């Protein structure tokens, strides 16, 4: 009899423990008052660029949806390795119903976690696994940043005196190549004589290396330095050496008020708000999400009127309206690569896929410096 009572007691305790750990979805209906949202970032807002701006989107989403601070759990400075797996597990244990990861290299860990946790939504920025994953709870998001790059390139093309631009970029990935190609084509649209040197840092966020690469490009004759790198180091280096710059992710005029012409920027809150609202309403999040100038997902920051070339605002506004109307297609042919091969024919347009860029051609006039 005692043995039977002990067994029954153990069963009751096990069931009670299961009820306690089943999570908010099992215990109660998901609402804006009880949802918990997790974020995994490769750096932290002190970078003044990528993570700063993504977190800015988080704060805007929080205000729009009326969420409390304790409903958002951030994991900052999570590298693209097994630490990401640990961060995901911690967020799930803390009751997050939706998790966002914001760096490309987090993708493998997010995909594995999505397979193991079908009741949690996983949203990965800059990745491309979602469409082929077959999972209802795994999603990718990005935007047509090349449209904003094109506009910022106009500012650079009109400003340069040497007709040599420099571009500090992180990785030899399509995301970076697509971006600097859009920038170059924007510059070339107003200055046919412009050329551009590109150098990789092989890191998303390394202020020291970004500054060193920016200086190397300046030494090669570039007088306008653009960037696809997380920190403000490219812009501060441009200011230090008396040239101009174009920033990325956030408005970098505060970091380099005498150098930064404008910056290509994001409004991540548009996607974050939509995704969280969808979860609470029980609606599906798009498998792939992208938005451009028309949707307000990408744009450029206000022009630095004290230093931009005359006519810059008018040229950019004209191009903006043509991109929004579809009259300008950034990757419209004819486009020729550095080997003299036509990669987009006259009358044709290369179209980037929804959430992950795939443009990898190096166009004539662009030199990748090893």
What pLDDT is recorded for position 8?
39
Q: Which residue has the tokens 């605002």?
A: 313
Number of domains forming the structure of the chain: 2
On whether both 85 and 212 belong to a single domain, the answer is no
In a domain, 21, yes or no: no
For residue 342, name the pLDDT band (cuts at 50, 70, 90): very high
- Per-residue pLDDT of 81-104, as tens digits, reads 999 999 999 999 999 999 999 999
End-to-end CA, the chain: 79
Check whether 10 has a pLDDT greater than 80.
no
In a domain, 169, yes or no: yes
What pLDDT is recorded for position 52?
95
| Residue 294, token pair as written in the block | 């028309």
| Residue 65: alpha-carbon gap to chain centroid | 22
C-alpha distances in Å from residue 197, one per residue of 164, 208, 223, 240, 317:
7, 19, 11, 20, 27
On whether both 257 and 352 belong to a single domain, the answer is yes
Taking residues 132-160, what's their average pLDDT? 97
Q: Which of 289, 321, 348 is the last residue before a domain boundary?
A: 289
On whether both 87 and 217 belong to a single domain, the answer is no
- Per-residue pLDDT of 245-279, as tens digits, reads 999 999 999 999 999 999 999 999 999 999 999 99
User: 201 is in which domain, residue-wise?
Assistant: 145-265+296-368
On whether both 106 and 82 belong to a single domain, the answer is yes
On whether both 51 and 168 belong to a single domain, the answer is no
What pLDDT is recorded for position 341?
98
In a domain, 355, yes or no: yes
- Alpha-carbon distance 213 to 198, whole Å? 9
> What burial class does residue 24 get, using C-beta atoms within 10 Å of its C-beta: 0-12 exposed, 13-18 middle, 19+ buried?
middle
In a domain, 54, yes or no: yes
Is the overall model pTM greater than 0.85, yes or no? yes
On whether both 94 and 173 belong to a single domain, the answer is no
- Per-residue pLDDT of 290-324, as tens digits, reads 999 999 999 999 999 999 999 999 999 999 999 99
The set of residues, in sequence order, having a beta carbon less than 8 Å from that of 59 and lying 6+ positions away, is none
Find the helix or strand (DSSP H, E) in which 330 lies. none
On whether both 199 and 137 belong to a single domain, the answer is no
For residue 226, the domain's CATH number is: 3.40.50.2300
What pLDDT is recorded for position 357?
87
In a domain, 7, yes or no: no
On whether both 156 and 182 belong to a single domain, the answer is yes
Q: Which of 225, 254, 289 is the last residue before a domain boundary?
A: 289
The set of residues, in sequence order, having a beta carbon less than 8 Å from that of 300 and lying 6+ positions away, is 148, 151, 152, 155, 262, 263, 264, 265, 316
DSSP 137-184: TEEEE---HHHHHHHHHHHHHHH-SSSEEEEEES-SSHHHHHHHHHHH
Cβ atoms of residues 141 and 289 within 8 Å: yes
On whether both 64 and 206 belong to a single domain, the answer is no
Check whether 16 has a pLDDT greater than 90.
no
| Residue 233, token pair as written in the block | 């180091």
On whether both 139 and 168 belong to a single domain, the answer is no
> What burial class does residue 332 get, using C-beta atoms within 10 Å of its C-beta: 0-12 exposed, 13-18 middle, 19+ buried?
middle
What pLDDT is recorded for position 2?
38
- Alpha-carbon distance 207 to 228, whole Å? 12
Taking residues 28-34, what's their average pLDDT? 93
- Alpha-carbon distance 248 to 261, whole Å? 11
In a domain, 6, yes or no: no
In a domain, 18, yes or no: no
In a domain, 8, yes or no: no
In eight-state DSSP terms, residue 333 is S
Share of the chain above pLDDT 90, in %: 90
DSSP 94-148: TT-SEEEE-SGGGHHHHHHHHHH-TTSEEEEET---HHHH--TTEEEE---HHHH
Helix (H, G, I), strand (E, B) or coil at 299: strand
On whether both 363 and 340 belong to a single domain, the answer is yes
On whether both 81 and 224 belong to a single domain, the answer is no
What pLDDT is recorded for position 203?
95
């Amino acid at each position: 009899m005692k043995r039977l009572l002990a067994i029954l007691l153990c069963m009751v305790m096990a069931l009670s423990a299961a009820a306690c750990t089943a999570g908010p979805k099992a215990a109660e209906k998901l609402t804006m008052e009880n949802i918990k949202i997790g974020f995994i970032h490769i750096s932290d807002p002190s970078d003044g660029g990528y993570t700063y701006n993504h977190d800015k989107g988080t704060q805007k989403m929080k205000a729009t949806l009326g969420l409390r601070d304790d409903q958002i759990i951030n994991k900052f400075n999570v590298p693209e390795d097994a630490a990401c797996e640990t961060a995901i597990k911690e967020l799930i244990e803390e009751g997050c119903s939706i998790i966002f990861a914001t760096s490309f290299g987090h993708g493998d860990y997010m995909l594995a976690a999505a397979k193991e946790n079908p009741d949690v939504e996983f949203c990965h920025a800059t990745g491309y696994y979602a469409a082929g994953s077959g999972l209802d709870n795994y999603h990718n998001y990005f935007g047509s940043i090349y449209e904003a790059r094109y506009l910022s390139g106009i500012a650079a093309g009109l400003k340069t005196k040497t007709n040599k631009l420099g571009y500090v970029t992180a990785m030899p990935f399509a995301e970076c190549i697509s971006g600097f190609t859009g920038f170059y084509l924007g510059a070339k649209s107003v200055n046919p004589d412009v050329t551009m040197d590109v150098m990789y840092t092989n890191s998303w966020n390394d202020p020291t290396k970004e500054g060193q690469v920016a200086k190397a490009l300046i030494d090669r004759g570039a007088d306008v330095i653009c960037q696809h790198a997380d920190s403000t180091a490219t812009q501060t280096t441009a200011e230090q050496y008396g040239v101009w710059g174009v920033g990325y992710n956030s408005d970098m005029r505060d970091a380099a008020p005498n150098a930064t012409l404008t910056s290509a920027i994001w409004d991540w809150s548009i996607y974050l708000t939509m995704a969280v609202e969808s979860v609470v309403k029980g609606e599906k999040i798009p498998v792939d999400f992208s938005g451009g100038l028309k949707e307000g997902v990408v744009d450029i920051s206000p022009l630095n009127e004290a230093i931009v070339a005359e006519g810059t605002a008018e040229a950019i506004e004209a191009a903006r309206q043509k991109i929004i109307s579809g009259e300008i297609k950034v990757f419209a042919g004819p486009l020729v690569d550095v080997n003299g091969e036509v990669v987009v024919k006259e009358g044709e347009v290369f179209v980037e896929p929804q959430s992950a860029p795939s443009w990898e051609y190096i166009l004539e006039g662009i030199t990748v410096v090893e």
